[in-house]
Amino acid sequence: MDSINIEEGVVHTVPEDIKDVLLNTKGLLEKWNSLTPLMRNEWICWTTIVKQSKTRKAHIKRLSEDVLAGKKRPCCWPGCPHRRESAKTMV
């Protein structure tokens, strides 16, 4: 059996709830894996940085819709704060 490859981000790894959506949404994993590591990192951070589970679920839904639609990064997101030099100790 072939193993399924889920590409990661620059700083962040793909959490289980995002993996689940990637594996169970037709065509999403292929589009996800075609994104650059930096683009994937932005989606992961944008999804996981929120505090409420309701918001996280909404972000995962939007991630799947937007990536399938061809969007490369979350709209109106200033970028992953964990890539900044001052945040290196936070990771």
Residue 27 lies in a domain: yes
Q: Which domain holds residue 62?
A: 16-74
Going by pLDDT thresholds of 50, 70 and 90, the confidence category of residue 81 is confident
pLDDT, position 60 = 98
Residue 33 lies in a domain: yes
Residue 90 lies in a domain: no
pLDDT of 91 above 50: no
Span 52-71, pLDDT tens digits:
999 999 999 999 999 999 99
**The whole model's pTM is what?**
0.86
Give me the number of domains the chain comprises: 1
Which residue did the predictor score with more confidence, 78 or 29? 29
Residue 89 lies in a domain: no
Q: To the nearest whole number, what is the mean pLDDT of the chain?
A: 91
Residue 83 lies in a domain: no
pLDDT of 47 above 50: yes
pLDDT, position 90 = 47
Residue 35 lies in a domain: yes
DSSP readout, 29-59? HHHHHHS-HHHHHHHHHHHHS-S-HHHHHHH
